[in-house]
Amino acid sequence: MANGKLQTLDRGIAALLLVARTPEGLTVGDLSTRLGLHRAATYRIVATLADHGMVQRTEGGRIILGAGAFLLGAQAGETMRNLARPILEQLAQDTGATAFLSMAQGDECVVVLTAEPRDAFLNIHYRVGTRHPIDRGAAGIAILATRPEQPDEPEDVRFARAHGYSVTRGQLQKGAVGVSSPVRLPDADHSGTEYSVGVVALENLEMDSAIAAVRAAARSLSDGFG
């Protein structure tokens, strides 16, 4: 054990994360090279992960995620929703706008949880499961801003990266204003999940207070995983 870590467990988790980031699968040789381990040691790690259903072999011999890993992913998503629910409810009350949690899925952004203010005269109803291109709307732009900078990325992504929030007007719905901030999870680049928190309203959104409330909500949710 070095630096307080169990080396075998550390290598097993590293192998699992490598497989998770490679949807087409990896061979034992690929894993051995990337982990810097002897092939025999890599075989033992893969066998142990397979025994627990975390990985499985395809007919071509490539290693992909197993049912156990997907079960963990589903449970992690439910944990995120449970943590986010009271935060979104408070955000909706503080801003008088519909609050939402969004998640990146490929080149789309999908709404996974919403909350509406109790006493608002008029709300935008944002349905769970709503999808839109990740480069359209405040939620997706906030997520894109957490990724490595690209030379041809839009100006609104650059703004979001510099300021910690995104603002869009009428991109997804005429007359709607959206404000979002990214949720920064520990080791987010390894987890395969990217989230943002935001609000959406008609033109009567009080922008300065909404931005402050959205950023505070994102920090609160990030801290919940910290």
71 pLDDT tier (thresholds 50, 70, 90): low
Proportion of the chain above pLDDT 70, given as a percent:
86
DSSP track, 2-34: BTTB-HHHHHHHHHHHHHHT-TT-B-HHHHHHH
pLDDT for the residue numbered 192: 59
Spell 43-56 as b/e; 16+ CB within 10 A means b.
Answer: eebbeebeeeebbb
DSSP 149: P
**Whose CA is closest to 16, among 73, 59, 60?**
73
55 pLDDT tier (thresholds 50, 70, 90): confident
State pLDDT tens for residues 56-68: 888 888 988 887 7
Q: Coil, helix or strand for 85?
A: helix
Q: Are 178 and 214 in contact (CB under 8 A)?
A: no
Between 14 and 171, residue with greater pLDDT: 14
If residue 223 lies in a helix (H) or strand (E), which one and from where to where?
A: helix 207-225
The superfamily CATH assigns to domain 74-225 is GAF domain (3.30.450.40)
DSSP 159: H
DSSP 127: -
The residue to which tokens 């992504």 are assigned: 157
What are the φ and ψ backbone dihedral angles of 67, each rounded to 5 degrees?
-60, -35
- The encoded tokens of residue 23 equal 């949807």
Residue 57: Cβ within 10 Å count: 15
- Please give the single-letter amino acid code of residue 226: G
Mean pLDDT of the chain: 84
Q: Are 154 and 127 in contact (CB under 8 A)?
A: no
Q: Is the pLDDT of residue 190 over 50?
A: no
Helix 39-51 and helix 7-20, axial crossing angle in degrees, nearest 10: 80
Say which CATH class 7-65 falls into.
mainly alpha
State pLDDT tens for residues 138-163: 999 999 999 888 888 889 999 999 99
| Residue 62 CA to its chain's centroid (Å) | 26
What are the φ and ψ backbone dihedral angles of 109, each rounded to 5 degrees?
-120, 130
Counting every residue written for the chain, the total comes to: 226
Domain boundaries, the chain: 7-65, 74-225
